[in-house]
Amino acid sequence: MEKAKEKLGFWALAGLIVGSMIGGGAFNLPSDMASGAGSGAVLLGWLVTGIGMIALALSYQNLSMRKPDLDGGIYSYAKGGFGEYMGFNSAWGYWLSAWLGNVAYATFLFGTLSYFIPAFNNDGNNWPSVIAASLLILAINYLILRGVKEASLVNLVTTIAKIIPIAIFIIIGLFAFKADLFSRDMFEVIKLAGESGTQSVGLFEQVTNTLMVTLWVFIGVEGAVVVSGRAKKRSDIGKATVMGLLGTLVIYVLITTVSYGIMPRAELAGLSKPTMAGVLEAVVGPWGAVLVRMGLGISLLGATLGWTLLAAEIPYVAAKDGVFPRLFARENENGSPAASLWITNLLVIGFIIYSHFSMSSYVAIYYMAGTAIILPYLFSALYQLKLVLTGEGYKADENKTGDLIKGIIATIYSAWLVYAAGMSYLLMVSVLYAPGFIFYLMSRKEQGKKAKTSDWVLALIIAGFAVYAIVLMAQGVIAP
């Protein structure tokens, strides 16, 4: 494994984080935010998300230093703090989120390319798009099989390349920004179309409406923690996490702010994907739309690569630790997690095909990806709190107040995300969580152990929600 364990430095780690976070979501922020919130609520949404994510990132930084033996990061914290089955569910949920995110990216990519290649449709889910997306996933699979370090360097290059059109958008947008348009009805009640007709939405619900969008564009903040076992220096993990988060937060706030200062909220909400293209086109003409779509193509390629790295690493590390079945720990001669890669990417391709038949939208898929990752985030925050309260990993006279505040904020933020996800998506994601218990039982059997009674009880509860969700989906009450 020596060749495989080629270590990643600070810039490679930072590139992995930024590359994973700045994907397709950044290019669709104007309409995704405008569809549920006014400009004032959006600013508050970013404030809430910024505080919550910074607290979460600082918690990860603290945990990586207090518990250097937990190299699985986001899953190992749930396992270390709350037991084997909760650790497994955290790993399973993160894995679900990662490969569902790649389905969303692939769908969005070929929907974007339809602007240049009419054979692909705008939703990215016709057969030419499905076939092309599947071939792309297989190509990325081949690249990573050649070595993790090589793939991370490609990801760093694509990260730099996609920042350029975003920077141009922000600079031009700042010159075209109209303060009076942005401030118009900032904190007013807005009217949104709902299942029972047009509804009035107040400030609190508007802010809540932004949280799943902001969560989606920040998923990946824990990327350096996930691959912590491959980091050259332990200290680089926390630095890369915090720097990547702060830099990305500034970019996102600027994208959203300038968009609300260029077009009214209702017009932003009605733009077709990618909506940054529509905003820039309104200012400079057609070449702006072309520039954004080119940048989006690069961005989605880089994000898909970055998330494939993370998606394969989670079950691989979990299998090495005995949480996932040993199958996921198999490597090739280059030290890449070959079995985990193949299983992950075949699932991605399978769900891309399913999305074609179910006509699932990009937004619906990323909502599912965001919902799946809430549990791992929540239990990481709770573990931060647990360490502070028990004093584990601290010196007897060490001041823990700062870490306590981080843990409380991160926990409140993660709990709010559960509320923001909504019951429909929580139920649908339970359908994907439920089969995980089979793999958990397999891993326990390989270690000569049995599941605890509490594990069975929790598994039956999840299965009950899954069955209820399937019934509701069959009746057409809920749908992705």
Same domain membership, residue 343 and residue 284: yes
Bridge partners for 193 per DSSP: 198
Q: Does position 447 have pLDDT exceeding 50, yes or no?
A: yes
Q: Where are the beta strands (DSSP E) in 91-219?
A: 190-194, 197-201
- Same structural domain, 473 and 412: no
In a domain, 2, yes or no: no
**For position 264, what pLDDT does the model report?**
92
- 4 in any annotated domain: no
Q: 92 with 315: CB under 8 angstroms?
A: no
| 88-103 pLDDT tens trace | 999 899 899 888 988 8
pLDDT-derived band at 455 (thresholds 50, 70, 90) equals very high
- Average pLDDT on 294-300 reads 82
- Give the CATH number of the domain where residue 328 resides: 1.20.1740.10
Task: Decide if 282 is inside a domain.
Answer: yes
Average pLDDT, the chain: 84
Residue 8 has pLDDT above 50, yes or no: yes
Whether residues 437 and 406 share a domain: the answer is no
Residue 446 has pLDDT above 80, yes or no: yes
- Whole-angstrom distance, CA of residue 426 vs CA of residue 221: 22
Residues 300 and 253 in one domain: yes
Q: Are residues 25 and 86 in the same domain?
A: yes
Mean pLDDT value across residues 127-137: 89
Per-residue pLDDT tens over the stretch 392-440 = 878 877 888 889 999 999 999 999 999 988 899 999 999 999 999 999 9
- 147 in the same domain as 255: yes
Question: Do 430 and 417 share a structural domain?
Answer: no
Residue 320 confidence (pLDDT):
86
- Whether 157 shows a pLDDT value over 80: the answer reads no
The pLDDT value given to residue 164: 84
Which one, of 352, 88, 64, 356, lies nearest residue 226 by Cα? 64
Helices (H), 177-328: 179-183, 203-218, 223-226, 234-260, 265-269, 275-284, 286-320
1 within domain boundaries: no
What are the C-alpha distances in Å from 457 to residues 421, 441, 454?
24, 14, 5
For residues 76 and 223, the answer to whether their CB atoms sit within 8 Å is no
Q: How confident is the model at residue 470 (pLDDT cuts 50, 70, 90)?
A: very high
- pLDDT score at 1: 37
What's the pLDDT at 16?
A: 67
Tell me: do 410 and 444 sit in the same domain. Answer: no
Residue 117 forms part of a structural domain: yes
Q: How far, in Å, CA of 294 to CA of 124, rounded?
A: 16
Query: pLDDT band at residue 284, thresholds of 50, 70 and 90?
Result: very high
- Determine the average pLDDT of the residues in 208-212: 90
Residue 3 lies in a domain: no
Same domain, 349 and 473: no
Q: What is the pLDDT of residue 3?
A: 42
Name the residue range of residue 262's domain: 10-421
Average pLDDT over residues 258-287: 91
Q: What is the mean pLDDT of residues 432-459?
A: 93
Task: For residue range 339-382, list pLDDT tens digits in order.
Answer: 999 999 999 999 888 877 766 667 788 888 889 989 888 998 99
Share of the chain above pLDDT 90, in %: 32
Domain boundary among 421, 445, 462: 421
Residues 353 and 470 in one domain: no
Residues 435 and 340 in one domain: no
In terms of domains, do 277 and 392 share one? yes
Residue 148 has pLDDT above 60, yes or no: no
Structural domains in the chain (count): 2
Among 403, 421, 439, the domain boundary falls at: 421
pLDDT at res. 354: 83
Q: Residue 230 — pLDDT band, cuts 50, 70, 90?
A: low
Task: Check residue 241 and give its pLDDT.
Answer: 75
Residue 319 domain flag: yes
404 part of a folded domain: yes
| pLDDT per residue as tens digits for the range 31-62 | 999 988 899 999 999 999 989 988 988 888 78
pLDDT of residue 2: 38
Of 395, 421, 447, the position where a domain reaches its end is: 421
